[in-house]
Structure 1
Amino acid sequence: MTCTAALRHIVLCEFNSDITQAKHAELVYEFSLMKHSVPGVLQFEWGENISPEGLDDGYSDCFTLTFDGAAARDVYLTHPAHLAFVELLKPWLARVLVFDYFPQEVPG
């Protein structure tokens, strides 16, 4: 297996049941601004869970940021734009799960 330099930062969110569609849309938009606000963010993706398997454990939204390596992710974690967004997000979160990984290529 080989490792690429890019790092994926996956954020799974379960929002509070009282979140409005407008607030949800605002939070998605604000999160998407990280790509433009924080150096080293190469890509931002978002999507709502549509799996029919029923294995989402209540998580409804997936956010994926791709960083130019672990150092860029570390800058993001303490960047003022990210910290401000976290404070905006916290009141609306029931739960969050974060998972970082380097994509691996499997030969074959």
Structure 2
Amino acid sequence: MPSTLRHVVLFAFKNKATAEDIDTVVTAFGALKDAIPAIVSYEWGTNVSLEGLNDSFTHCFTLTFAAAPDRDDYLNHPEHQRFVGMLGGVLEKSLVLDYWVQ
């Protein structure tokens, strides 16, 4: 079995979300890498595709884990749970995909 697990998260924000609201979410997401030791790496960016197929998703976050239990620890970690709790007011929808690197 491969030993690198990617956790990809896409966010589409509500129309009423301000730039400050979005910056707060991005900053809080980035802070998880320092709060949760199971995260091997973290990166993020905004959509720059010219294809127009992003279905209103504008922000992509990718986290790397060494094993499934590490990802599970991240999902259940109190800091992650706190982060998820702050999203309701500004997030329209999200999409999450996990895969083993081939």
Same-fold call, TM cutoff 0.5: yes
In 2, distance between residues paired with 1:57 and 1:82? 25
Q: Corresponding residue for 2:20?
A: 22
1:47-93 C-alpha deviation (Å, 9 max, x unpaired): 11010001111111101111121110000111000000000112211
Structure 1: stretches of 5+ with no match in the other structure? none
Instruction: Provide the secondary structure at the position in 1 that maps to 2:87.
Output: helix
- Runs of 4+ aligned structure 1 residues displaced above 2 Å come to none
TM-score normalised to structure 2 length: 0.95
Deviation at 1:6, TM superposition (A): 1.5
TM-score normalised to structure 1 length: 0.90
Deviation at 1:13, TM superposition (A): 0.6
Instruction: State percent identity of aligned pairs.
Output: 42
Deviation at 1:40, TM superposition (A): 1.1
2:29 is the counterpart of 1:31? yes
Q: How does 1:1-108 map to 2 (within 5 A)?
A: 4-104=2-102
Instruction: Provide the secondary structure at the position in 1 that maps to 2:26.
Output: helix
The count of aligned residue pairs is 102
In 1, distance between residues paired with 2:99 and 2:39? 15
In 1, distance between residues paired with 2:88 and 2:96? 14
Structure 2: stretches of 5+ with no match in the other structure? none
Larger radius of gyration: 1
